[in-house]
Amino acid sequence: MKYDVKICISYDYDRPAVGGRHLVCLMPQDLDHTQQITSATLHITPDPAERLDRRDFFGNHLTEFSFRGPHDRVMLTLTAQLWRADAPHCLGPSASLTDLPRQLALCRDVGPQSPLHFLAASTRVPRDADMAAFARSYVGPDATVAETVLALGNALHTHMTFDATATTVDTPAAEAFAKRRGVCQDFSHIMIACLRSLGIPAGYVSGLLRTLPPPGKPRLEGSDAMHAWVRAWCGETAGWLEFDPTNASLARGDHIVVAYGRDYSDVAPVKGMMRTSGSQKSQQAVDVIPL
């Protein structure tokens, strides 16, 4: 499927901000056989004093920019055209849970796609006894890694309630799990913690999700969403499997990949610092339009 993508994120300040340095991770990925970018542009208003477009260790597109003078508004507008296919669920047979430690011990790859980077606790996904116990309860006898990923993802979808008011971007995964409520970021962090507790390498996928209006209703401009889901390494033959626990589904052609990381801290869409006083308001609009 071909898509036109547009993301608009704006920040309005009560009083002018003086200076500021920011890091943006919004540019979709080019992925072999599953996602190809035809064109993409990130426009920043006002024009920054400095701008650097680069890639991070995991291959994600980053834009660093800074302002020197006062400004009361910042607007980021990304426009892109891309092609996205349904990703293969696994490249080959999944490893068994019992054989996975052997395969990981033999792994000598330390590049961006190495599963070794996604085993340990990370900034937003610490070790947690309650989530580990939950994960163990869904491990079947003689289960493969892929079967375990699907079982855990579906279980979390059943036990968790999507609630945009229950958490914030800074809510710890353990708190969201205790509440059994949260948003896609929380669902993903909890699933990653559960998988890692079983010795399964798991990472965070930042992306976009095309949403469909109710039958007979028009599509509302800007109503699509930034989204997050999980990737898990199912062994040397199978490779990576992507699962969306918020929607209890494998990532498919309507899941557009922006960035891969260990957790949200690696791939936050916008972060940075500035000097200002007073409050600020932000708005976000996302359009994923099939062509």
Task: Identify whether residues 190 and 247 lie together within a single domain.
Answer: yes
Quick check: 58 pLDDT over 60? yes
Rounded CA-CA distance 283/255 in Å is 22
Task: Identify whether residues 136 and 239 lie together within a single domain.
Answer: yes
- Given a contact cutoff of 8 angstroms between Cβ atoms, the answer to whether 28 and 35 are in contact is yes
pLDDT tens figures, 107-142: 999 999 999 999 999 999 999 999 999 999 999 889
The residue range of the domain holding 213 is 100-265
pLDDT tens figures, 232-281: 999 999 999 999 999 999 998 999 999 999 999 999 999 999 888 888 89
- CATH number of the domain bearing residue 109: 3.10.620.30
**Structural domain total, the chain:** 2
Residue (of 178, 182, 134) closest to 155 by Cα position: 134
Residue 285 maps to a domain = yes
The residue with tokens 């930042």 is: 206
DSSP string for 156-208:
HHHH-EE-TTT--TT--HHHHHHHTEE-HHHHHHHHHHHHHHTT--EEEEEEE
Task: Identify whether residues 257 and 120 lie together within a single domain.
Answer: yes
Higher pLDDT: 90 or 133? It is 133
Q: Give me the pLDDT at residue 88, please.
A: 64
Rounded CA-CA distance 117/81 in Å is 31
Q: Give me the pLDDT at residue 219, please.
A: 63
Q: In what helix (H) or strand (E) does residue 186 lie, and over which residues does it extend?
A: helix 184-197
Task: Identify whether residues 230 and 110 lie together within a single domain.
Answer: yes
- Given a contact cutoff of 8 angstroms between Cβ atoms, the answer to whether 170 and 159 are in contact is no
Provide the token pair at 60. 């994600």
Query: In the predicted model, what is the mean pLDDT of residues 222-241?
Result: 90
Task: Identify whether residues 71 and 148 lie together within a single domain.
Answer: no
Query: In the predicted model, what is the mean pLDDT of residues 15-34?
Result: 93
Considering the entire predicted model, what is its pTM? 0.94
